[in-house]
Amino acid sequence: MRNDTFLKALLRQPTPYTPIWIMRQAGRYLPEYNATRKKAGSFLALAKSPELACEVTLQPLERFALDAAIIFSDILTVPDAMGLGLYFVEGEGPKFERPVREEADIARLDVPDLEKLRYVFDAIALTRKNLKGKVPLIGFSGSPFTLACYMIEGGGSDDFRRVKSMLYARPDLLHRILRINAQAVIAYLNAQIAAGAQAVQIFDTWGGTLSDAAFREFSLAYSMQVLAGIGHDPQGAHVPRILFTKGGGQWLEAMAGSGADALGIDWTTDLGDARHRVGSRVALQGNMDPMALFGTPATIEAEARRILGRFGEGPGHVFNLGHGISQFTSPEHVHALVEAVHSHSAGKNPA
Amino acid sequence: MRNDTFLKALLRQPTPYTPIWIMRQAGRYLPEYNATRKKAGSFLALAKSPELACEVTLQPLERFALDAAIIFSDILTVPDAMGLGLYFVEGEGPKFERPVREEADIARLDVPDLEKLRYVFDAIALTRKNLKGKVPLIGFSGSPFTLACYMIEGGGSDDFRRVKSMLYARPDLLHRILRINAQAVIAYLNAQIAAGAQAVQIFDTWGGTLSDAAFREFSLAYSMQVLAGIGHDPQGAHVPRILFTKGGGQWLEAMAGSGADALGIDWTTDLGDARHRVGSRVALQGNMDPMALFGTPATIEAEARRILGRFGEGPGHVFNLGHGISQFTSPEHVHALVEAVHSHSAGKNPA
């Protein structure tokens, strides 16, 4: 591995500078991504082709000095493999043909055959080969709760009325879905690791929509099952795991005891406060507002410095945005961010 | 005043039970509201008719033993009076015909003539008269930042890209809008108080979308200007003021020093933790997930008891939802909530 700053920072080991990667770094803000997607014909065709998924995974690394790659995929591959029928409507986000709402649907639900997700593992193996040790490759999954949101709602939602109606009126049904999702995510992430993923991130995109009590019972408890079930890599080494709950800033103490090596945090949390609260238990990943990239190169640099300053001295910081990059972002502004993070953190965490 | 439990709780004085009102309690979940709205012809015609606004304000009090009324209006009346042209598209939320985006638009912006908001003050005066002292009447406004979000975006937004582009690239322009909004909101709330509002709430609906640093600079600082500018009622008495920032659970300590008597909190914050953090500085209002009303009467009662228990003994709690009630809520479930809050809190805060 030529650049292991990302893996070291996740384990709170010193690095010569603060590593950076960007959620959704392989995406629509890059013209070369849009060209490959056009070639694939659709988002799903792109995600299901190991060669094209590998191609777009590597694209941002050609442009920017990023310290990690993340396999190009979708968080909803697991419910798709369960038979729910994932599809995309342009401009509307993901949807399922067969959402899981009735008790009979839930009784039928089961952990999917991993062979149906072979395309993800093949993409990881191919990308590892083509990366040639340049930077580590991240695998990922949606959290059991976040998967359940899409599975029950049948798509995105403003209020999550269906999933919350089940949570409050029939918590037993939601718990059954979550148990199955947790088992499926464990198997899925372990297979990603077997294929070559060197770190894994759990995206708990919707845990932050829950009450404090419901978050602990329906989101965090199942993310913790997943974290407990993640095994070592083929060489027997520990695989760093990141837990990212959007809107989870109020629960960092609980998440610090989840078994994750690092917590992803969004931009609403002050990074200095977060570090004070979690102490030496976990590393922190984040946390610039993706919209800060709509400033000027000078204000982007200033915001990057401010965030580095809020984290302060010492190891354990992976720079990132607090959520996925917007499709309307200028690639030149991403370049300014990566350069600012590297130059202003150099020597801060001496190896 | 026959029932002053709400005003007393806001000032952390003992009450015989925990008072409750519900954000958006006069709204589409009530068939009688929909009938009046149909009679009015449109949402804006309803909001701009003092007689009809009074009528719908009083409707939920006929059904439920609520401890406060809130004047039926919209948070965007102030920018409408500034000349931005508020309109509503069915199912899409509020929009402005003339959003404020260019430097020249911002230079022209000014505090509106309060006569253009006379319909709000007339509705308050009429409602006070018709309430006959049954319960207190709440006035309200959007926060300077939340108004600016709609004024700049021209409507709702998923990412607030326009307002945040201005925030990061041209903060001077956003500060100018916010200064004018704060002056306008001060004049607006003081005129509501002169007309008869007995408490006021500032709805900072979008402050929670900001980074910690930006929240303090662009949202809280201007809400504090407003709070400092609110005067006494016509009898020279203090008018309790509530600051509600959706998604603001991480900033309660800062908000507790804002000059507000009470903080509205959404359902993501544990009420016991919140009380511990703000101490005796402010009362707390909240915080049931509006979606909990999609449970059963028994689970609604259990959730109400849980929240009352998290607040604990002693005065200073106004029960509410953590956000506006959903239009799909069953009125029978609201009845179950109000009864549960009153019966399970009786004697908890003895007068």
Got the DSSP string for A102-115?
A: SHHHHHH--PPPGG
| Mutation for A interface: B294, B305, B330, most A CBs within 10 A | B294
| Mutation for B interface: A23, A164, A168, A218, most B CBs within 10 A | A168
Query: Using the beta-carbon criterion (under 8 Å), do A159 and B250 form an inter-chain contact?
Result: no
Q: Cα angle at B333 between B327 and B338, to 5 degrees?
A: 110
The reply to whether A37 belongs to the active site is yes
The tally of CA atoms less than 13 A away on the side-chain side of residue B196 is 21
Domain-embedded: residue A351: no
Check: pTM over 0.90? Answer yes or no.
Answer: yes
Q: Which domain holds residue B21?
A: 5-345
The stretch A267-278 carries a mean pLDDT of: 97
Nearest to B296 by CA among A153, A218, A175, A165: A165
Tokens 């916010």 correspond to B178
Domain-embedded: residue A350: no
Q: What Rg do the C-alpha atoms of chain A give, in angstroms? A: 19
The reply to whether A150 belongs to the active site is yes
Whole-number Å distance between alpha carbons of A161 and A102: 15
Nearest to B326 by CA among A161, A166, A165: A161
pLDDT tens digits, one per residue of A28-78: 999 999 999 999 999 999 999 999 999 999 999 999 999 999 999 999 999
Instruction: Compare CB distances from B291 to A159, A287, A295 and report the shortest one's residue.
Output: A159
Nearest to B169 by CA among B235, B105, B101: B101
Domain-embedded: residue B93: yes
Domain-embedded: residue B63: yes
Find chain A residues with C-beta within 8 A of B289's C-beta: 164, 210-211, 214
Per the structure, the count of domains in chain A is 1
- Helix (H, G, I), strand (E, B), or coil: what is residue B116? helix
Tokens 């070369």 correspond to A32
The residues that bridge with B299 in the sheet, in sequence order, are none
Instruction: Compare CB distances from B164 to A164, A287, A294 and report the shortest one's residue.
Output: A294
- Helix (H, G, I), strand (E, B), or coil: what is residue A141? strand
| Per-position pLDDT tens, chain B of length 351 | 899 999 999 999 999 999 999 999 999 999 999 999 999 999 999 999 999 999 999 999 999 999 999 999 999 999 999 999 999 988 788 999 999 999 999 999 999 999 999 999 999 999 999 999 999 999 999 999 999 999 999 999 999 999 999 999 999 999 999 999 999 999 999 999 999 999 999 999 999 999 999 999 999 999 999 999 999 999 999 999 999 999 999 999 999 999 999 999 999 999 999 999 999 999 999 999 999 999 999 999 999 999 999 999 999 999 999 999 999 999 999 999 999 999 999 987 654
Domain-embedded: residue B351: no
Distance of CA B183 to the CA centre of its chain: 18
- What is the DSSP-derived secondary structure letter of residue B139? E
Whole-number Å distance between alpha carbons of A63 and B92: 39
Domain-embedded: residue B114: yes
Name the catalytic one among B4, B12, B17, B24. B24
> Contact A280/A297 with Cβ under 8 angstroms?
no
Query: Using the beta-carbon criterion (under 8 Å), do B268 and A250 form an inter-chain contact?
Result: yes
Q: Tell me the ipTM for this assembly.
A: 0.94
CA distances from B213 to A162, B67, B168, B217, B301 (A): 35, 36, 12, 6, 39
Whole-number Å distance between alpha carbons of A116 and A79: 11
pLDDT tens digits, one per residue of A77-115: 999 999 999 999 887 889 999 999 999 999 999 999 999
Taking each helix axis as running N to C, give the angle between helix A161-169 and helix A144-153, from 0 to 180 degrees, rounded to the nearest 10: 110
Find chain B residues with C-beta within 8 A of A326's C-beta: 159, 161
Backbone angles phi, psi at B20, to 5 degrees: -140, 135
Domain-embedded: residue A51: yes
Q: A196: distance to nearest CA of chain B, Å?
A: 34
> Contact B20/B5 with Cβ under 8 angstroms?
no
Q: What is the dihedral of CA B188, B190, B191, B196, to 10 degrees?
A: 130
> Contact B287/B322 with Cβ under 8 angstroms?
yes
Domain-embedded: residue B167: yes
Tokens 């065709």 correspond to A45
Backbone angles phi, psi at B195, to 5 degrees: -80, -15
Please provide the average confidence, as pLDDT, over all residues in chain A.
97
CATH of the domain at B150: 3.20.20.210
